[in-house]
Amino acid sequence: MDHNRTPLFDAIKQYIDTKPAYFRIPGHRFEKGINKKWTDVVGEAIFKFDLTETPFLDDLHNPKGVIKEAQDLAKEVFKADRTYFLINGTTCGNEAMVTSTAFEGEEILIPRNAHKSVLMGLVISGATPKYIMRKY
């Protein structure tokens, strides 16, 4: 597989180039409505790449096109059996990490200073934390 390919990026760029009328989330509406303080620093073009729910870019929950291809490329690079792209930020990822590895009644080691999203993962999973103190 050619690891220099960027299928998802290329598809997003192609979509942007069509100059679509965008009526989906996120609320900044395809770079419209961004505070000038932001655009003065980072420019406007970056906000065009923050896309969700457009039928032209595959489906993250059931990828069959460019997202699947990009995840397969990442899987090979990471030498993993499977690779999934994370959405909703680190909180969602931390909750998924805990709920997929620790189950109700099981114990899991957690640093005492863990982010609250890890603790939410514990609540969701039903696992019991065994706290460890960080050494500085």
| Residue extents of the structural domains in the chain | 7-78, 89-132
Beta-bridge mates of residue 130 = 109
**Residue 8 zone, left/alpha/beta (φ > 0; ψ -120 to 50; rest):** alpha
Which one has a higher pLDDT value, 35 or 95? 95
So what's the pLDDT on residue 102? 94
pTM of the model: 0.65
How many angstroms separate the CA atoms of 43 and 106, rounded? 48
User: Tens digits of per-residue pLDDT, 26-52?
Assistant: 555 566 667 788 888 888 777 777 776
- Which amino acid belongs to residue 109? L
So what's the pLDDT on residue 39? 83
Q: Is it the case that residue 136 has pLDDT exceeding 80?
A: no
Beta-bridge mates of residue 107 = 128
Which of 49, 47, 53, 62 is CA-nearest to residue 8? Answer: 49
So what's the pLDDT on residue 88? 72
So what's the pLDDT on residue 58? 87
